[in-house]
Amino acid sequence: MPTETGVLQFLKICDSFYPADAVDASISQQRQWYDALCARFDQPVPEGLTSADALVSDRIATRHYRPKAIRTETALLYLHGGGFVVGSLESHHAICAEIADFAGAELVSVDYRLAPENRWPAQTDDCFEVLKHLLVSGRQVVLIGDSAGGNLAAGLAIRARQQRLGGITGQVLIYPALGGDLLSGSYREMQNAPGLRTSDVAYYRAMVKAPPGDPVAEPLAAASFAELPAAFITVAHFDPLRDDGRRYAAKLARAGVEVWFREEPQLVHAWLRARHMSDGARVAFRAVCEAASRFAAA
């Protein structure tokens, strides 16, 4: 367990909205709990920032954030977390707004299809369609995602490499799920960590039904990590997903890819929502924003 007061207060609030055994409930109940939890931590958007919803390819809902001061034409593409089962444009609304405002860049958030109603590759296909839409329009793109969204972001970088699509200037992966072995490393050490358990990760994998060993679904399984975009990867110490990010950063570095890596010693999974109440999360979130800004200016 962490000892930072702000993190402990955050966990207490989370427990009051989202029970530890939430995955045992119905899908609709899980989504209701998650939406209520995210609403509890909602924040007003930065002054002067505007947002508008739009469809891509007449079916994929997206939300476009435009800060008052635009300093780059590079777009930020945000893919939300939630185990592929929960989450929406609303769940990460303030997070997206704050990143866009800090970077001075337009940000596009994707409301990709959720499991179990839609199994893999529906999620990556929706996100890849939006990515191609941005790239075809001539924009450069920074990929950003947390948790399951970090999985999708890393997978998009691999898909883009497979199809020889240029224009991705960086990837920001926040406590990403990248397909690690559930029986070893942090999956074993942190199997009962607060906020996310290893059994929860197994549940989400069973819901999305991605093929084991596919590099887009499990980026750690890629045969090569060369020629992927520069990456900023941040993990939480008290998180079963911790070693996924550690291992991915090491593989990218060995392949000659520029990598920035942070491990937050007092943080837990989903700390993004604690960014206004935890000192550790506040510093970690600023590092995320600075990485997005740096890649957008590249």
| Measured distance CA(139)–CA(207) in Å, rounded | 34
Active-site pick, 80, 126, 269, 278? 269
How does pLDDT run across 112-150, given as a tens digit for each residue? 999 999 999 999 999 999 999 999 989 999 999 999 999
Whole-number mean pLDDT of the chain?
97
CA distance 54 to 59: 9
Burial group, residue 214, by CB count within 10 angstroms (0-12, 13-18, 19+)? middle
Continuous segment of H or E residues that includes residue 252 = helix 242-254
Question: Which is the catalytic residue, given 88, 91, 109, 147?
Answer: 147
What are 27-51's pLDDT values in tens digits? 999 999 999 999 999 999 999 999 9
Q: Say what the pTM is.
A: 0.98
Q: Confirm whether 184 is a catalytic residue.
A: no
Is 64 assigned a catalytic role?
Answer: no
Q: Could you say which of 200, 239, 243, 244 is catalytic?
A: 239
pLDDT of 298 reads 76
**Does 181 qualify as catalytic in the annotation?**
no
Query: What percent of the chain clears pLDDT 90, i.e. is strictly above it?
Result: 99
Question: Phi and psi for 26 in degrees, rounded to 5?
Answer: -65, 160
